[in-house]
Amino acid sequence: MKTLEEMIRELPPELRQEVEDFIRSLLRRRREPAPTLRQDWGGALKDYRDRFTALDLEQKALGWRGD
C-alpha cells in the first residue's frame, strides 16, 4: 500500500494544489475554537408576552418564510 506522500506525488500539479488547500482548511478548522452558544437572549421578549401568543408568533414566522 502506498503512503499518502507517494499518492500525492503521483497527482498532477493542479490536484496537488487542491490537496494542499484541503489540508490547510482541515488544519485551520482544527485550530479554531468551536463557537459557543449565546444564551444571553433569555427574557428579551418579556415585554411582549401580554400582546402575542406563541401561535401568533408562529404564524408570523411562517408568513416571513413564505409558508
DSSP assignment, residue 36? P
pLDDT tens digits for 17-60?
999 999 999 998 888 777 888 888 888 888 888 998 889 989 98
What is the pLDDT at residue 67? Answer: 63
Does pLDDT of 16 surpass 90?
yes
Classify residue 57: in a domain, yes or no: no
**Structural domain count, the chain:** 1
pTM over 0.85: no
Q: Which domain holds residue 21?
A: 1-32
Q: Is 8 exposed, middle or buried (0-12, 13-18, 19+ CB in 10 A)?
A: middle
Query: Grid coordinates standing for 4?
Result: 499518502
* Whole-number pLDDT of residue 29: 85
Whether residue 38 lies inside any domain: the answer is no
DSSP state of 29: H
Q: Please, what is the end-to-end C-alpha distance for the chain in angstroms?
A: 54
Is pLDDT at 12 greater than 90 in this prediction? yes
Average pLDDT of the segment spanning 3-16? 96
| Residue 41 forms part of a structural domain | no
